[in-house]
Structure 1
Amino acid sequence: MNVRPALPGDREFLFEVRRATLRTYVEQTSGWDDAEQRVVADGEFAVLPFSVVEEDGRPIGYVCVLHRSEYDFIEEIALLPEAQGRGIGTELLRGILLAAERRGVPVRLSVFVDNPARALYTRLGFEVVRVEDPRVAMRWEPVSGGSAGARSP
C-alpha cells in the first residue's frame, strides 16, 4: 500500500470514491444531488490535504487528515467497496494514530451514526464524545508507553 498527495488529475477519482462510499448516508439525510455534491467535493479537494491510497500502483481510496496544534482531525477516509474489509482502513487508521501519538495529540472524527466504520473506530480506542444525529463525534487519546491502535476488546 502507498499513500501519496492527491494531484489535480485525481479529482474525478476522489469524487467517484466519495459517491461510492458516502452517497447512501447523504441520501438518508439531505439527499444526494450529483451536481451539488461535485461542487462541494471540488471545493474541498482544492483546499484540504487529500491523499490517494494506492495498492499495486492502482488508486483504491483516499484519506484526509487535518493537523491542528492541539489535535488531528480525520476529515475523511474512504476506500472503494472492493478494497473494504481487507484491513486497509485499519492500517491507515493505525498510521494516523501512531503519528498523533508521537505528537502527543488526540485524534477526532465525525462519522454517520449508522456507518459500520464506527465499530472499527471503537475497536481502535475511539470513544463517543457526542451524538448530533445523523453524525457521531468520536475522540481517541494517545496512551503513553503503548502502541497506537493496539487496544483491542
Structure 2
Amino acid sequence: MTCSHDLRVRPALSSDREFFFEVRRAALRAYVEQTSGWDDAEQRITADKEFADLPFAVVEESGRPVGYACVIHQSEYDFVEEIALLPEVQGRGIGTHLLQGILRAAQRRGVPVRLSVFVNNPARALYTRLGFEVVRIEDPRMSMQWTPGNV
C-alpha cells in the first residue's frame, strides 16, 4: 500500500496526552514485553513525563491522528527519540514519509541523524533501507546513525 498525501504533522497539545499513551501502548507494547516486561502503570508514568518534557508532534492523516513523532535537534546531530503509529496504519509508507522528511531537514543542516531501536523491532529494516547504519548494539536496543549524503 502507499501513503496518503494528506499527512500533517503538528505540535502535540496537552489534550493529546491520552492519545500519545494509547499509540505507544499499541505500537510498542509487544517489543517492550519481549525485553523487559510491560507494566501499564509504570509505562504511563514514563509516558506522561516524556510527553511533558519532550517536543512531541502528532501525525494526522486526513485530519485523523494516527501517530506521533519526536525529534530532538542538537547542534551536531538530530536524534529521533520516537516515532510510533497506530497498528492499522503501519506498513502504508507513513513512517517512511516521516523519516524521509527528517533526513531531508538534517541533510540541509549538514548533520547526521541518530536513533535507538529495539533489536526485535521490524522497523530496523526501514532504517537500514533509508541508509542508517548500526553503530552499537546494547541488547535490548540498537543505536543507528544516518550520515548526510546517504539519501
Provide runs of 4+ in structure 1 moved above 2 Å: none
The aligned counterpart of 2:39 is: 33
In structure 1, distance between residues paired with 2:32 and 2:70: 19
The aligned counterpart of 1:81 is: 87
In structure 2, distance between residues paired with 1:29 and 1:86: 27
Q: What are the Cα deviations for residues 86-133 of structure 1, in whole angstroms up to 9, with x where unaligned?
A: 111000000000000000000000001011100000000000001100
1:134 counterpart = 2:149:
no
RMSD of Structure 2 on Structure 1 (CA): 0.8
13, 17, 20: which one aligns with 2:26? 20
> Looking at both structures, which has the greater relative contact order when contacts are Cα pairs under 8 Å and sequence separation is at least 6?
2
The aligned counterpart of 2:4 is: none
In structure 1, distance between residues paired with 2:30 and 2:127: 20
The aligned counterpart of 1:55 is: 61
In structure 2, distance between residues paired with 1:85 and 1:31: 25
In structure 2, distance between residues paired with 1:129 and 1:42: 29
Displacement of 1:27 after TM fit? 1.0
Displacement of 1:25 after TM fit? 1.2
Q: Percent identity?
A: 78
What are the equivalent positions in structure 2 for 1:45-124 lying under 5 Å apart?
Answer: 45-124=51-130
**Structure 1: tracts of 5 or more residues without a match:** none
In structure 2, distance between residues paired with 1:26 and 1:84: 18
**Structure 2: tracts of 5 or more residues without a match:** 1-6
The aligned counterpart of 2:3 is: none
Q: What are the Cα deviations for residues 29-74 of structure 1, in whole angstroms up to 9, with x where unaligned?
A: 2211111100000000001000000011100000000000000000
Greater CA drift, 20-29 or 97-106: 20-29
Secondary structure class of the residue paired with 2:103: helix
In structure 1, distance between residues paired with 2:19 and 2:75: 30
Aligned amino acid, residue 29 of structure 1: T
